[in-house]
Amino acid sequence: MKVSAAILALAAASASAHDAHHPFLRKLQDDSCDLYCVNSNSDFCKDSPLADLSVMYPKPNGMAGDSTEYAKCYVPWEGNGRSVKVRCPPTVEETPVSCQQCGYSWSNLSPDGLFSAPFSTVEECCPGIVDADGYRYTYSYDWNIEKAKRSSYPAKKGSCWGWWGCDGGYECGDRSWWGKGTCKLSSSSKFLGETCSDNTQCNKVTSDHVAMACARVSKTCLLKEDADRQHSLAGLTRKSCSCSVFDHWDFRSTFTGLISCVNYKDCGGAECTLTTQDGNKYCHHTDASNAKCSNCRANGNACK
Q: Domain ranges in the chain? A: 1-140, 154-188
pTM: 0.78
> Which range, 25-29, 225-229, 267-271, is most confident?
225-229
Q: What is the pLDDT of residues 60-105, one digit of tens each?
A: 888 888 889 999 999 999 989 999 999 999 999 999 999 999 999 9
Average pLDDT over every residue of 45-74: 93
CB neighbours of residue 284 within 10 Å: 19
**Secondary structure in 3-state letters for 211-270:** CEEECCCCCEEEEHHHHHHHHHHCCCCCCECCCCCCCCCCHHHHHHCCCEEEECCCCCCE
Instruction: Give residue 170's identity as a one-letter amino acid code.
Output: Y
Per residue in 231-243, pLDDT (tens digit) is: 999 988 888 988 8
pLDDT digits (tens, 9 = 90+) for 176-222: 988 899 999 999 999 999 999 999 999 999 999 999 999 999 999 99
Lowest mean pLDDT among 105-119, 130-144, 277-291: 105-119
Contact 225, 140 (CB under 8 A): no
pLDDT band at 270 (very low <50, low <70, confident <90, very high): confident
pLDDT of residue 27: 42
**C-alpha separations of 107 from 4, 30, 60, 72 in Å:** 6, 26, 20, 19
